[in-house]
Structure 1
């Protein structure tokens, strides 16, 4: 009856077709059965202005300096029981002041200050309120390689930033990195790749693949067979969190990036509405005399 699902022919996970990070394997084109859905989250953004002129001819106060603690969601990613990513603003992850001095791993800096801190093979994450984060790979000589508008391009770091502050993002993912030379080679080998030849849905997946060589960051890198081994744990307070489950790392990353784009307060409001509705439903089901499903 109806369309029958084709039987999987791969005996185990290691046999899933993918491109080797060293470049020895080459994809011959789009793979059968893989949905090629790309994100628009890395489009150009307009530089922020220091002041906005109102319709009445006056000026609104200049926007406050970007503070990650106000706009970004603290979260962790788990593969089964292993934590593979963490963003936390507590403990040792102290943030810098506006000048970018004395900051920890999550400190943000102006593009000019970042140039003095980056080394070849580093990952850089540019951040800004109400925008998707943009990830790049620093390859040396003030240049980066990144996925931008469905094409892997080579740009100057200051141009790629588009005026946003950024941080060195090497410590967010906990995978063992490849050597700096390999990271740079992975990035440069992909320059010019675009449209349906791409194997990544956004700039973060591309940059992370360059540094760690994990096929989990690639489109179709993992079989979706019903189980949900990945968990995104969103920190709601000091002792409260909410967990979402995903079948693949790339799906989870898309949700994490959406959370950063809509902002911390919007995420908390969404979860608050969801949790309240769930609690009300549970209370109704637990009331004496509540109807239960027939056995």
Structure 2
């Protein structure tokens, strides 16, 4: 899935841009200094679509998209604090034209489609958005950035305190033209979330990946069943969450069931809350990173 290392982005610890440019991030603590950029998930998407057409198969993205059926409902916890939640109330989607009547400067928009990674953008006003696409931060019209996908305003998914709309827009516009080795984000979601919340945890190498895993991704499987995965950084967790969104709810449930209960006759047990089952991932992103 495009896990090859593209390039070393920083040569030493001092060159890594982990501080918040607005001065809002006052969280002190150790941060890693060497980071890597991997293939962009938007590029992977376009390659996958081309492969489907080349093989003469049916493109799943052209099938009717039902968020309730295809999307993975989940929560993200940092220690005991819920910092992200996607549930049934967050799944409604709108056409790009409809979104234009709903967006205000500083809003985050998430475009979704079956078998695709979600694509996040920052609305900056005048029908335009700023987003990370093909390893470059670009300014586009919202309708162009959507590529025909339906979307939703994603302000309520992350529970961090947002910066002011003016600062969010400024953060986004100041990065337009940034590309390749100058990038500090691995995907469009991390970039958009950083613009709105200013937290270095969304940046490449923003957190130290050693010791206890403080982040938990709780995946809801339905019928009061859930499954918990543990990670050492928010960036690692986001990459796994996006992979789940790309493969879809049915595939995630099947994958977890096969992994946990291979060779066992019983299905996943019914349970509530945290702790029904846990997987602990080692340090480093799930999409093929090298340990740093």
TM-score range, shorter chain: 0.7 to 0.9
- Contact 1:45–1:162 under 8 Å retained in 2: no
Equivalence for 2:22:
22
Equivalence for 2:148:
163
Equivalence for 1:226:
211
5 Å-filtered alignment, 1:149-228, equals 149-228=134-213
Q: Which runs of 5+ in 1 are unaligned?
A: 1-8, 11-15, 26-30, 94-104, 281-295
Equivalence for 2:71:
72
- The CA distance in 2 between the partners of 1:203 and 1:210, in whole Å, is 11
Q: What do the CA deviations read for 1:239-274 (whole angstroms, capped 9, x no partner)?
A: 111100000000000000000001111111100111
Q: Which runs of 5+ in 2 are unaligned?
A: 1-12, 26-30, 266-292
- The CA distance in 2 between the partners of 1:261 and 1:135, in whole Å, is 14
- The CA distance in 2 between the partners of 1:164 and 1:109, in whole Å, is 9
Q: Classify the secondary structure of the residue corresponding to 1:235.
A: strand
Higher deviation after alignment, 144-153 or 106-115: 106-115
Deviation of the 1:20 alpha carbon? 2.0
- The CA distance in 1 between the partners of 2:167 and 2:32, in whole Å, is 29
Deviation of the 1:147 alpha carbon? 0.3
Deviation of the 1:113 alpha carbon? 0.6
Q: What do the CA deviations read for 1:116-165 (whole angstroms, capped 9, x no partner)?
A: 00000000000000000000000000000000000000000000000000
Equivalence for 1:38:
38
Equivalence for 2:6:
none
5 Å-filtered alignment, 1:75-154, equals 75-89=74-88, 93=89, 105-154=90-139
- The CA distance in 2 between the partners of 1:220 and 1:88, in whole Å, is 29
- The CA distance in 2 between the partners of 1:264 and 1:35, in whole Å, is 31
- The CA distance in 2 between the partners of 1:63 and 1:209, in whole Å, is 31
RMSD: 2.9
**TM-score normalised over the length of structure 2:** 0.75
From 232, 238, 241, the counterpart of 2:226: 241
Equivalence for 2:275:
none
- The CA distance in 2 between the partners of 1:210 and 1:199, in whole Å, is 12
When Rg is computed on C-alpha atoms for both structures, the one with the higher figure is 1
Equivalence for 2:246:
261
Decide which structure has greater strand share.
2
From 258, 268, 276, the counterpart of 1:273: 258
- The count of corresponding residues between Structure 1 and Structure 2 is 238
Q: What do the CA deviations read for 1:190-224 (whole angstroms, capped 9, x no partner)?
A: 00000010000000000000000011000111011
